[in-house]
Chains A and B, each alone.
Chain A
């Protein structure tokens, strides 16, 4: 494969030659390869778990022009895996925090910050200025958007995704290679993908997968080695096993197939079954009780049964002394509850317990309410000694 950049020949200064000497003495990179790296323009979607190691290594390797897209601020829960950000960065825009680190590692590159939500009206224009797109997002609408925009603009999509301790990586949307839609023609309907309630992610996993993405980006730029094009790499960090599956370009693919029906970007929230702009699927409104009201009632000695529908490992982090019945077990364990008593259900933030309230009401429990905002709101408004997670 040829290199992807079409820039004017780039020269390296003596300082750059010294900096990249371990690249320059390898025939697979050499002066020409390093110049290609310097001329390359790579867009990283997301400056989070995958984006951290990805951007750090691309910067260190001398990828001359790095773009970062993000709109989020650093928070404490990011620090377990998003190693481009430090404790001092909490509260700062991720873009500022990330760009600072990248420039500190390598002042010879330029970093462009795009503080925006990627969407159907800005993606193609943004991609125009880059040679390769690296997808580090965490949701299906953006995955399909990045894929389609890459196919439509002819830019490779260096892909990785992670769940708990497993990850996938591939390179999509090259000229003759498959795209993400060839692998998964349709997203799962909302709610059917295993809930992230049992989720979480091993902190090193985005490290592993982000470094694989960086490796693939660099190989594409150098035109060296065997790319992951046409292969889906599966990483199981717990078993420490790497496997690969064959990926084929689907001739019937609606975006990259022989007779594409998707010729422009579409509404990806709608495509993924999400109604309303960026709105998560919210359960139907259920009767609620505020943390303050619940506290007042409990202090008065009212008979209220607290039902905790989280998972056992969450209960260990913090609890309100309620009866633990995980949401998934609730249908089979309703008989443990007394429908004549007043019940307040809670979870972490109130989403799962709203589902529990709906289930219980359908089953004839008349006096069930949802703790608004879950144990997080309780910690915030009633008892600051309860840890947030």
Chain B
């Protein structure tokens, strides 16, 4: 299956926008990704190994929370999307992060 990597996480995935893997489930897919790209693992999972709550995963167009969560099986022709939350209206300054109260 193909895993689509969002812009914000590409720097942790060797700059790639899509990665093709051979996996049986969402769990397996994300696990393989984390093994290939350890930096990416930290952004997908919390220290307890749970998928972070601001990172949504979709199999094709369906949110895995409404399927079988991480146990959702995947087929070779499925597309898996990782969609983290994005705050930007337009980033205020390169170093301000997301925390200022500035509507743009």
Q: Is B7 an interface residue (CB 8 A)?
A: yes
Known: A118-B103, A246-B61. A201 touches B9 (CB 8 A): no
Known: A188-B84, A193-B98. A166 touches B103 (CB 8 A): no
Asked if B87 contacts A143 (CB within 8 A), the reply is: yes
Q: Is A48 an interface residue (CB 8 A)?
A: yes
Asked if A187 contacts B61 (CB within 8 A), the reply is: no
Contact residue among A70, A206, A352 (Cβ-Cβ distance under 8 Å from B95): A352
Q: In the bound complex, what is the Cα–Cα distance between A197 and B92 (angstroms)?
A: 11
Measured CB to CB, the nearest residue on chain B to A232 is B83
Known: A139-B99, A194-B8. A50 touches B81 (CB 8 A): no
Residues of A within 8 A of B97 (CB): 190-191, 193, 195-196, 280-281
Asked if B7 contacts A163 (CB within 8 A), the reply is: yes
Q: In the bound complex, what is the Cα–Cα distance between A314 and B93 (angstroms)?
A: 13
Contact residue among A48, A185, A196 (Cβ-Cβ distance under 8 Å from B89): A48
Measured CB to CB, the nearest residue on chain B to A195 is B97
**Number of residues of chain B lying within 8 A (CB) of chain A:** 40
Mark each residue of chain B from 69 to 104: 1 if its CB lies under 8 Å from any CB of chain A, else 0: 000000000000101111111111111111111111
Q: Is A20 an interface residue (CB 8 A)?
A: no
Classify the interface of chain B: helix, strand, loop or mixed: loop
Asked if B95 contacts A197 (CB within 8 A), the reply is: yes
Measured CB to CB, the nearest residue on chain A to B55 is A188
Q: Is A92 an interface residue (CB 8 A)?
A: no
Asked if B58 contacts A245 (CB within 8 A), the reply is: yes
Asked if B83 contacts A245 (CB within 8 A), the reply is: yes
Interface residues of A in 264-279 (CB under 8 A from B): 269, 272, 274, 278-279
Q: Is A200 an interface residue (CB 8 A)?
A: yes
Asked if A192 contacts B43 (CB within 8 A), the reply is: yes
Q: Which of A27-35, A214-222, A343-351 contacts B (4 or more CB under 8 A)?
A: A343-351
Asked if A72 contacts B103 (CB within 8 A), the reply is: yes
Asked if B8 contacts A246 (CB within 8 A), the reply is: no
Asked if A163 contacts B103 (CB within 8 A), the reply is: no
**Number of residues of chain A lying within 8 A (CB) of chain B:** 77
Q: In the bound complex, what is the Cα–Cα distance between A186 and B99 (angstroms)?
A: 15
Q: In the bound complex, what is the Cα–Cα distance between A167 and B104 (angstroms)?
A: 15
Q: In the bound complex, what is the Cα–Cα distance between A195 and B8 (angstroms)?
A: 9
Asked if B8 contacts A248 (CB within 8 A), the reply is: no
Interface residues of A in 125-147 (CB under 8 A from B): 136-143
Known: A184-B56, A245-B83. A199 touches B94 (CB 8 A): yes
Asked if B103 contacts A162 (CB within 8 A), the reply is: no
Residues of B within 8 A of A118 (CB): 103
Residues of A within 8 A of B85 (CB): 140, 183-184, 187-188, 193
Asked if B99 contacts A46 (CB within 8 A), the reply is: no
Residues of B within 8 A of A350 (CB): 95
Mark each residue of chain B from 44 to 55: 1 if its CB lies under 8 Å from any CB of chain A, else 0: 000000001110
Top-10 shortest CB links A-B: A48-B104, A46-B103, A49-B90, A138-B89, A351-B95, A280-B99, A186-B53, A188-B54, A184-B85, A194-B8
Q: List 12 A-B contacts (CB under 8 A).
A: A46-B103, A138-B104, A139-B102, A141-B99, A164-B8, A166-B86, A184-B54, A188-B84, A192-B43, A193-B98, A245-B61, A280-B100
- Known contacts A71-B103, A272-B99; can you find 16 more A-B pairs with CB under 8 A? A46-B104, A72-B102, A82-B104, A137-B103, A138-B90, A139-B100, A143-B87, A166-B86, A187-B85, A188-B54, A195-B94, A196-B94, A245-B62, A245-B81, A247-B63, A351-B96
